[in-house]
Amino acid sequence: MGRCILRISEKGFSLVELMIVIAIIGVLALVALPSYRNFILKAEFIETKMALGAVKVSLEVCVRTMGLVSAGRCVNNSHGIPANNDPAEGIVGVKLAGTAFGKDSAVTENDTLTITATAATDSRNVGATFKLTGKLKSGGGIVWDDGVYSKPELC
């Protein structure tokens, strides 16, 4: 009868194979990290853009209520429109401006209202702004543009 001899051979990775794997991981990290960083910055900047929402809605309600001619009375601290505020730690700054804002004479079609939001001072996007401009229309509505980012990478 023949004897069966079990041979255990040790197998492993060579140094060259390990170096190739490490190089591939390094290249993937170089490609992925900047994309990840930009993703985090964009995600955090959404908070700044969202701060415009309440102001935008309150302006629209005020302009519809007051009508086109009296829309200049839609200013801070009146008709549900919040006050301007500067950015601070944990607080997004929001400011109103435009040709219709606070206008004493009759507002006309195509006068503008502008809302600018500035990222909080403790944000990675400190100083970055998002500006939304709306043109008043004869029916008392506002047609808003797509907005302008101060930093294109936040789009």
Residue 1 confidence class, pLDDT cut points 50, 70, 90: low
Please, which residues bridge with residue 144 across strands?
134
Q: How far apart are CA 94 and CA 28, in angstroms?
A: 40
**CB 149 within 8 Å of CB 138:** no
**CB 105 within 8 Å of CB 72:** yes
Total-model pTM: 0.77
Q: How far apart are CA 87 and CA 89, in angstroms?
A: 7
Residue 76 confidence class, pLDDT cut points 50, 70, 90: confident
The predicted structure's pLDDT at residue 119: 94
- Identify which of 126, 125, 133 has the alpha carbon closest to the alpha carbon of residue 155: 125
Average the pLDDT over 16-30 and give the result. 94
**CB 69 within 8 Å of CB 39:** no
In percent, how much of the chain has pLDDT > 70? 94
The predicted structure's pLDDT at residue 5: 66
pLDDT digits (tens, 9 = 90+) for 51-75: 888 899 999 998 888 888 888 888 8
Place of tokens 């001072």: 121
Element (H, E) at 134: strand 129-136
The predicted structure's pLDDT at residue 8: 64
- Tokens at 32, concatenated: 């992925």
**CB 115 within 8 Å of CB 84:** no
Average the pLDDT over 99-125 and give the result. 88
- Identify which of 128, 125, 101, 104 has the alpha carbon closest to the alpha carbon of residue 44: 125
Query: Strands (DSSP E) along 84-123, which ranges?
Result: 93-97, 112-118
